[in-house]
Amino acid sequence: MPRSAQSLRSMNRRLFSRLGLALVCTALLGGPVMAYEDVGHSNPADQDLKNIIVGPQRTSANRDRDASRNPYEVLHFFGLNKNMTVVEIWPGAGYWTEILAPYLHEHGTYYAALGESSKMMDAKLATDPELYGQVKLTRFDGDKYAIAPDGTADLVVTFRNLHNWMDDGTAQAAFRAFFKALKPGGVLGIEDHRGRTDQPQDERAGTGYVRQDYAIALAEKAGFLYAGSSEVNANPKDTKDYPEGVWTLPPTFKLGDVDRAKYAAIGESDRFVLKFTKPLN
Protein backbone atom coordinates (compact mmCIF):
# COMPACT_ATOMS: atom_id res chain seq x y z
CA MET A 1 0.00 0.00 0.00
CA PRO A 2 1.37 3.47 -0.82
CA ARG A 3 2.38 5.57 2.13
CA SER A 4 0.28 8.56 3.10
CA ALA A 5 1.65 11.99 2.19
CA GLN A 6 2.22 12.66 5.89
CA SER A 7 4.29 9.50 6.43
CA LEU A 8 6.34 10.19 3.30
CA ARG A 9 7.12 13.69 4.51
CA SER A 10 8.13 12.19 7.85
CA MET A 11 10.48 9.75 6.14
CA ASN A 12 12.10 12.53 4.13
CA ARG A 13 12.52 14.74 7.21
CA ARG A 14 14.15 11.83 9.05
CA LEU A 15 16.56 11.09 6.21
CA PHE A 16 17.66 14.68 5.68
CA SER A 17 17.87 15.48 9.39
CA ARG A 18 20.20 12.47 9.73
CA LEU A 19 22.19 13.80 6.77
CA GLY A 20 22.55 17.23 8.36
CA LEU A 21 23.65 15.75 11.68
CA ALA A 22 26.20 13.52 9.96
CA LEU A 23 27.73 16.44 8.07
CA VAL A 24 27.88 18.64 11.15
CA CYS A 25 29.54 15.92 13.22
CA THR A 26 32.05 15.24 10.47
CA ALA A 27 32.96 18.90 10.26
CA LEU A 28 33.34 19.21 14.05
CA LEU A 29 35.63 16.20 14.08
CA GLY A 30 37.80 17.75 11.43
CA GLY A 31 37.08 15.12 8.79
CA PRO A 32 36.23 15.66 5.14
CA VAL A 33 32.72 16.79 4.30
CA MET A 34 31.58 15.27 1.02
CA ALA A 35 29.65 17.65 -1.19
CA TYR A 36 28.77 18.02 -4.84
CA GLU A 37 29.28 21.32 -6.59
CA ASP A 38 26.48 22.72 -8.71
CA VAL A 39 27.54 21.87 -12.24
CA GLY A 40 24.87 23.98 -13.88
CA HIS A 41 22.12 21.42 -14.42
CA SER A 42 18.63 22.86 -14.36
CA ASN A 43 16.77 19.80 -13.04
CA PRO A 44 15.30 20.95 -9.69
CA ALA A 45 15.54 17.39 -8.37
CA ASP A 46 19.33 17.38 -8.67
CA GLN A 47 19.97 18.75 -5.18
CA ASP A 48 17.83 16.02 -3.65
CA LEU A 49 19.88 13.42 -5.51
CA LYS A 50 23.13 15.01 -4.32
CA ASN A 51 21.85 15.03 -0.74
CA ILE A 52 20.88 11.37 -0.89
CA ILE A 53 24.28 10.40 -2.29
CA VAL A 54 25.98 11.87 0.80
CA GLY A 55 23.19 10.68 3.12
CA PRO A 56 23.56 8.62 6.30
CA GLN A 57 21.80 5.61 4.73
CA ARG A 58 24.94 5.02 2.61
CA THR A 59 27.52 2.61 4.02
CA SER A 60 31.03 3.93 4.45
CA ALA A 61 32.36 1.20 2.13
CA ASN A 62 30.08 2.39 -0.67
CA ARG A 63 30.81 6.07 -0.09
CA ASP A 64 34.53 5.30 -0.29
CA ARG A 65 34.03 4.12 -3.88
CA ASP A 66 32.09 7.17 -5.05
CA ALA A 67 35.24 8.85 -6.38
CA SER A 68 35.64 5.95 -8.82
CA ARG A 69 31.99 5.29 -9.55
CA ASN A 70 30.69 8.91 -9.76
CA PRO A 71 27.06 8.07 -8.96
CA TYR A 72 25.65 11.57 -9.38
CA GLU A 73 27.22 12.14 -12.78
CA VAL A 74 26.24 8.70 -14.06
CA LEU A 75 22.61 8.94 -12.97
CA HIS A 76 22.27 12.47 -14.27
CA PHE A 77 23.67 11.35 -17.62
CA PHE A 78 21.00 8.63 -17.77
CA GLY A 79 18.35 11.32 -17.18
CA LEU A 80 17.12 10.11 -13.81
CA ASN A 81 14.31 12.04 -12.17
CA LYS A 82 12.25 11.25 -9.09
CA ASN A 83 9.00 10.49 -10.97
CA MET A 84 10.47 7.59 -12.92
CA THR A 85 9.93 3.86 -12.79
CA VAL A 86 13.48 2.50 -12.64
CA VAL A 87 14.68 -1.10 -12.89
CA GLU A 88 18.16 -2.02 -11.69
CA ILE A 89 19.49 -5.36 -12.89
CA TRP A 90 21.46 -7.45 -10.39
CA PRO A 91 21.85 -4.82 -7.64
CA GLY A 92 24.17 -7.07 -5.62
CA ALA A 93 24.86 -5.75 -2.13
CA GLY A 94 23.05 -2.50 -2.86
CA TYR A 95 25.50 0.23 -3.87
CA TRP A 96 22.91 1.83 -6.15
CA THR A 97 19.94 0.71 -4.04
CA GLU A 98 21.10 3.05 -1.28
CA ILE A 99 20.67 5.92 -3.74
CA LEU A 100 17.81 4.93 -6.03
CA ALA A 101 15.39 3.57 -3.42
CA PRO A 102 15.23 6.71 -1.26
CA TYR A 103 15.36 9.03 -4.27
CA LEU A 104 12.37 7.31 -5.91
CA HIS A 105 10.54 6.53 -2.66
CA GLU A 106 7.91 9.25 -2.76
CA HIS A 107 7.10 9.85 -6.42
CA GLY A 108 8.67 7.01 -8.41
CA THR A 109 9.13 3.24 -8.39
CA TYR A 110 12.30 1.21 -7.95
CA TYR A 111 12.51 -2.41 -9.09
CA ALA A 112 15.48 -4.53 -8.05
CA ALA A 113 15.73 -7.40 -10.54
CA LEU A 114 17.64 -10.15 -8.74
CA GLY A 115 19.38 -13.36 -9.69
CA GLU A 116 18.51 -16.62 -7.93
CA SER A 117 19.56 -15.52 -4.44
CA SER A 118 18.10 -12.48 -2.70
CA LYS A 119 20.01 -12.80 0.57
CA MET A 120 22.19 -9.73 0.06
CA MET A 121 19.25 -7.59 -1.00
CA ASP A 122 17.04 -8.91 1.79
CA ALA A 123 19.77 -7.94 4.25
CA LYS A 124 20.05 -4.45 2.73
CA LEU A 125 16.31 -3.82 2.83
CA ALA A 126 16.10 -5.04 6.41
CA THR A 127 18.51 -2.33 7.59
CA ASP A 128 15.80 0.32 7.23
CA PRO A 129 12.29 -0.98 6.43
CA GLU A 130 10.86 2.55 6.39
CA LEU A 131 13.37 3.76 3.85
CA TYR A 132 13.43 0.62 1.69
CA GLY A 133 9.87 -0.60 2.20
CA GLN A 134 8.73 0.48 -1.27
CA VAL A 135 11.36 -1.53 -3.19
CA LYS A 136 9.83 -4.05 -5.59
CA LEU A 137 11.79 -7.28 -6.07
CA THR A 138 11.64 -9.14 -9.39
CA ARG A 139 13.71 -11.87 -11.06
CA PHE A 140 16.25 -11.56 -13.85
CA ASP A 141 17.73 -14.40 -15.88
CA GLY A 142 18.07 -13.48 -19.52
CA ASP A 143 14.54 -13.07 -20.84
CA LYS A 144 12.96 -15.81 -18.71
CA TYR A 145 11.16 -13.41 -16.37
CA ALA A 146 9.51 -10.00 -16.51
CA ILE A 147 11.84 -7.57 -14.74
CA ALA A 148 8.91 -5.15 -14.58
CA PRO A 149 5.46 -5.13 -16.22
CA ASP A 150 5.86 -4.82 -19.98
CA GLY A 151 6.21 -1.27 -21.27
CA THR A 152 6.21 0.41 -17.84
CA ALA A 153 9.83 1.30 -17.10
CA ASP A 154 11.27 4.74 -17.83
CA LEU A 155 14.84 3.64 -17.13
CA VAL A 156 16.65 0.30 -16.92
CA VAL A 157 20.19 0.39 -15.51
CA THR A 158 22.89 -2.20 -15.10
CA PHE A 159 26.43 -1.78 -13.83
CA ARG A 160 29.38 -4.08 -14.62
CA ASN A 161 27.21 -7.03 -15.57
CA LEU A 162 27.32 -7.28 -19.37
CA HIS A 163 30.55 -9.30 -19.32
CA ASN A 164 28.85 -11.90 -17.09
CA TRP A 165 26.01 -12.39 -19.56
CA MET A 166 28.47 -12.66 -22.42
CA ASP A 167 30.24 -15.37 -20.44
CA ASP A 168 27.09 -17.42 -19.92
CA GLY A 169 25.67 -16.78 -23.39
CA THR A 170 22.62 -14.77 -22.27
CA ALA A 171 23.62 -11.24 -23.34
CA GLN A 172 21.19 -10.99 -26.23
CA ALA A 173 18.37 -12.41 -24.10
CA ALA A 174 19.16 -9.77 -21.46
CA PHE A 175 18.73 -6.97 -23.99
CA ARG A 176 15.40 -8.46 -25.04
CA ALA A 177 14.22 -8.33 -21.41
CA PHE A 178 15.28 -4.68 -21.10
CA PHE A 179 13.54 -3.77 -24.34
CA LYS A 180 10.33 -5.46 -23.27
CA ALA A 181 10.19 -3.71 -19.88
CA LEU A 182 10.84 -0.19 -21.18
CA LYS A 183 8.24 2.27 -22.38
CA PRO A 184 8.64 3.62 -25.92
CA GLY A 185 11.23 6.36 -25.52
CA GLY A 186 12.55 4.77 -22.33
CA VAL A 187 16.27 4.72 -21.54
CA LEU A 188 18.71 1.85 -21.03
CA GLY A 189 21.89 2.75 -19.15
CA ILE A 190 24.88 0.39 -19.15
CA GLU A 191 28.29 0.57 -17.52
CA ASP A 192 31.05 -2.01 -17.93
CA HIS A 193 34.81 -2.46 -18.10
CA ARG A 194 35.95 -1.07 -21.46
CA GLY A 195 38.01 -3.39 -23.66
CA ARG A 196 40.90 -2.49 -25.92
CA THR A 197 40.12 -1.51 -29.50
CA ASP A 198 43.36 -3.01 -30.84
CA GLN A 199 42.25 -6.53 -29.94
CA PRO A 200 39.26 -8.58 -31.12
CA GLN A 201 36.45 -9.04 -28.64
CA ASP A 202 36.39 -12.36 -26.81
CA GLU A 203 32.73 -13.32 -27.10
CA ARG A 204 32.89 -14.76 -23.58
CA ALA A 205 34.62 -11.65 -22.16
CA GLY A 206 36.95 -13.85 -20.15
CA THR A 207 39.04 -10.94 -18.88
CA GLY A 208 35.97 -8.96 -17.84
CA TYR A 209 36.56 -6.33 -20.52
CA VAL A 210 34.04 -5.50 -23.26
CA ARG A 211 34.77 -3.35 -26.27
CA GLN A 212 32.51 -0.32 -26.37
CA ASP A 213 31.61 -0.82 -30.03
CA TYR A 214 30.74 -4.45 -29.28
CA ALA A 215 28.35 -3.42 -26.48
CA ILE A 216 26.70 -0.85 -28.74
CA ALA A 217 26.23 -3.47 -31.46
CA LEU A 218 24.57 -5.87 -29.01
CA ALA A 219 22.07 -3.21 -27.92
CA GLU A 220 21.32 -2.10 -31.46
CA LYS A 221 20.73 -5.72 -32.50
CA ALA A 222 17.99 -5.85 -29.85
CA GLY A 223 16.32 -2.76 -31.34
CA PHE A 224 17.79 0.01 -29.17
CA LEU A 225 18.96 3.34 -30.51
CA TYR A 226 22.39 4.53 -29.36
CA ALA A 227 21.97 7.87 -27.55
CA GLY A 228 25.50 8.65 -26.40
CA SER A 229 28.31 7.91 -23.96
CA SER A 230 29.92 9.54 -20.95
CA GLU A 231 33.61 9.49 -20.08
CA VAL A 232 32.99 10.15 -16.38
CA ASN A 233 34.40 6.72 -15.44
CA ALA A 234 37.28 6.65 -17.91
CA ASN A 235 40.69 5.63 -16.56
CA PRO A 236 43.59 6.04 -19.02
CA LYS A 237 45.96 4.29 -16.59
CA ASP A 238 44.15 0.99 -17.10
CA THR A 239 46.21 -1.04 -19.61
CA LYS A 240 43.76 -3.97 -19.55
CA ASP A 241 46.44 -6.67 -19.72
CA TYR A 242 46.60 -8.18 -16.24
CA PRO A 243 47.20 -11.77 -15.05
CA GLU A 244 43.68 -12.11 -13.62
CA GLY A 245 41.88 -9.79 -16.00
CA VAL A 246 40.01 -6.81 -14.62
CA TRP A 247 39.76 -8.52 -11.23
CA THR A 248 43.48 -7.88 -10.75
CA LEU A 249 42.58 -4.23 -10.09
CA PRO A 250 40.75 -2.78 -7.08
CA PRO A 251 38.39 -3.40 -5.51
CA THR A 252 38.90 -7.16 -6.05
CA PHE A 253 42.73 -7.40 -5.95
CA LYS A 254 42.57 -11.03 -7.04
CA LEU A 255 46.36 -11.42 -6.72
CA GLY A 256 46.18 -10.48 -3.05
CA ASP A 257 49.34 -8.73 -1.92
CA VAL A 258 51.26 -9.40 -5.15
CA ASP A 259 51.99 -5.97 -6.70
CA ARG A 260 49.08 -4.59 -4.73
CA ALA A 261 50.51 -1.06 -4.56
CA LYS A 262 51.01 -1.06 -8.33
CA TYR A 263 47.41 -2.02 -9.00
CA ALA A 264 46.06 0.31 -6.33
CA ALA A 265 47.87 3.18 -8.09
CA ILE A 266 46.11 2.28 -11.35
CA GLY A 267 42.76 2.34 -9.60
CA GLU A 268 39.46 0.88 -10.73
CA SER A 269 39.00 -0.10 -14.36
CA ASP A 270 38.45 2.11 -17.37
CA ARG A 271 34.70 1.93 -17.95
CA PHE A 272 32.24 2.99 -20.59
CA VAL A 273 28.90 4.50 -19.62
CA LEU A 274 26.41 4.11 -22.46
CA LYS A 275 22.87 5.35 -22.99
CA PHE A 276 20.30 3.88 -25.36
CA THR A 277 16.64 4.56 -26.04
CA LYS A 278 13.75 2.37 -27.06
CA PRO A 279 12.20 3.68 -30.30
CA LEU A 280 8.90 5.52 -29.99
CA ASN A 281 7.26 3.22 -32.50
Kindly tell me if the per-residue pLDDT of 10 is higher than 70: no
Average pLDDT, the chain: 88
Average pLDDT over residues 25-40: 36
pLDDT in tens, 211-220: 999 999 999 9
Average pLDDT over residues 31-42: 36
**Which of the listed ranges 6-10, 16-20, 91-95, 242-246 does the model predict with the highest average pLDDT?**
242-246
Which residues contact residue 186 at a Cβ distance below 8 angstroms, ignoring those fewer than 6 apart?
153, 154, 155, 156, 277, 278
Kindly tell me if the per-residue pLDDT of 161 is higher than 60: yes
Kindly tell me if the per-residue pLDDT of 241 is higher than 80: yes
* Angstrom distances, CA of residue 163 to CA of 46, 197, 201: 31, 16, 11
User: CATH number of the domain at 67-277, please?
Assistant: 3.40.50.150
Query: So what's the pLDDT on residue 117?
Result: 77
Q: What angle do CA 156, 160, 166 make, to 5 degrees?
A: 95
3-class secondary structure, 79: coil
Which residues contact residue 6 at a Cβ distance below 8 angstroms, ignoring those fewer than 6 apart?
none
Question: Which strand (E) or helix (H) includes residue 221?
Answer: helix 212-221
Write out the DSSP string of 130-180: HHHTT-EEEE-STTSS-SSSTT-EEEEEEES-HHHHHHHT-HHHHHHHHHH
Strand partners, 230: 273
Domain range annotation of the chain: 67-277
Query: So what's the pLDDT on residue 232?
Result: 98
Neighbours of 48 (CB within 10 A): 17
Query: So what's the pLDDT on residue 14?
Result: 54
Which residues contact residue 238 at a Cβ distance below 8 angstroms, ignoring those fewer than 6 apart?
249, 266, 267, 269, 270
187, 88 in Cβ contact below 8 A?
no
pLDDT in tens, 221-234: 999 999 999 999 99
Query: So what's the pLDDT on residue 157?
Result: 98
Sorting pLDDT into bands at 50, 70 and 90, what band is 36?
A: very low
Query: What is the C-alpha to C-alpha distance for residues 153 and 147, in angstroms, rounded to an integer?
Result: 9
> 29-33, 71-75, 127-131, 274-278: which range is least confident on average?
29-33
Which residues contact residue 222 at a Cβ distance below 8 angstroms, ignoring those fewer than 6 apart?
172, 175, 176, 178, 179
Query: What is the C-alpha to C-alpha distance for residues 117 and 241, in angstroms, rounded to an integer?
Result: 32
Kindly tell me if the per-residue pLDDT of 205 is higher than 60: yes
Query: So what's the pLDDT on residue 1?
Result: 39
Query: What is the C-alpha to C-alpha distance for residues 153 and 238, in angstroms, rounded to an integer?
Result: 34
Query: So what's the pLDDT on residue 38?
Result: 34
Q: Are strands 109-114 and 136-139 parallel, antiparallel or unpaired?
A: parallel
Kindly tell me if the per-residue pLDDT of 195 is higher than 50: yes
Sorting pLDDT into bands at 50, 70 and 90, what band is 13?
A: low
